Amino acid sequence: MPPPSSALTLLRDHSLPSLVQKEIETLILDGQLSPGAKLSEMHLAQRFGVSRGPVREAFRGLGEKALVRVEKNRGVYVREISLAEADQIYDVRLALEGRMGFLAAQRRTPEQAEALERALTAVNEAATAGDADSYHAANLALHEGIAHCTANPKLTETYQRLVNELTLYRRRAHLGREWSMKEASEEHGRIVIAIRAGDAEAARNHLEAHVEAGRQRLHEAIRRGRADEQPSAK
């Protein structure tokens, strides 16, 4: 009997709505669907070659992950957050990621430590190249790797939800700003060194400092964006 096709394997291992949800999530997190954009159930169904039912189910899942908002009688939109909301999320991240670093340093396996080194290399290479898109993806992978080192699924789940809410905002912090990627990469290096060394206090302190620095980089990027939108004085 021939082996099942990759499509059949995917359908065997995952439900159709979950696959559609993953595809839409990727479009949102990659910035292909902008904050505030209205999502068409019909157009997405046509795009993925499915009926509208799986897309509707996918919307529910994306709503639970805080990536879309559903407005009764109006439709489904890619979620937007204000700078004030972003600040509130950073406050939570500050506490959560500090604990995440502490536990990661205590619980990481040798294999996980090696994986963090590889993720750090990817971050550094993207920063050196000034590639904001690659840096963003590598940065997410590194932080997710740290979360998995905690061996705490609930912590990882909560962290990923917060990151999803901030992702589109955080992309702006490094666009056109190579120095900010390099600065953040140096912070990542200190974090990974502490985790590999099993220094829980240092890992917590470095992660908290990194989150706070990330908040400041975001504020600076927002201020710069607003300044660029102002008409020049004549």
Q: Where are the domains of the chain?
A: 6-78, 83-229
Q: Where does 83-229 sit in CATH, by number? A: 1.20.120.530
Cα distances (Å, whole numbers) of residue 45 to 27, 48, 178: 14, 5, 38
pLDDT along the chain (234 residues), means of 10: 42 73 86 86 93 94 86 89 85 95 98 97 93 86 96 93 74 61 94 98 98 88 55 35
CB count within 10 Å of CB 179 equals: 11
Task: Please give the pLDDT value at position 72.
Answer: 86
pTM score over 0.75: no
Task: Single out the residue of 168, 164, 148 nearest to residue 156, CA to CA.
Answer: 148
Give residue for tokens 């706070």: 212
Cα distances (Å, whole numbers) of residue 168 to 11, 32, 42, 199: 29, 10, 25, 32
Helix (H, G, I), strand (E, B) or coil at 76: strand
**DSSP for 15-74?**
-HHHHHHHHHHHHHHTTSS-TTPEEPHHHHHHHHT--HHHHHHHHHHHHHTTSEEEETTT
Number of H helices, E strands in the chain: 10, 3
Strands 38-39 vs 68-71: parallel, antiparallel or unpaired: unpaired
Q: What's the CATH architecture for 6-78?
A: Orthogonal Bundle (1.10)
Task: Single out the residue of 146, 222, 128, 151 nearest to residue 188, CA to CA.
Answer: 146
Question: Amino acid letter at 218?
Answer: L
Query: What are the tokens at 59?
Result: 């919307």
Query: What are the tokens at 222?
Result: 């927002």
Task: Please give the pLDDT value at position 227.
Answer: 43
- HSE-up of residue 81 (Cα within 13 Å, Cβ side): 20
Specify the DSSP element, H or E, that contains 78.
Answer: strand 75-78
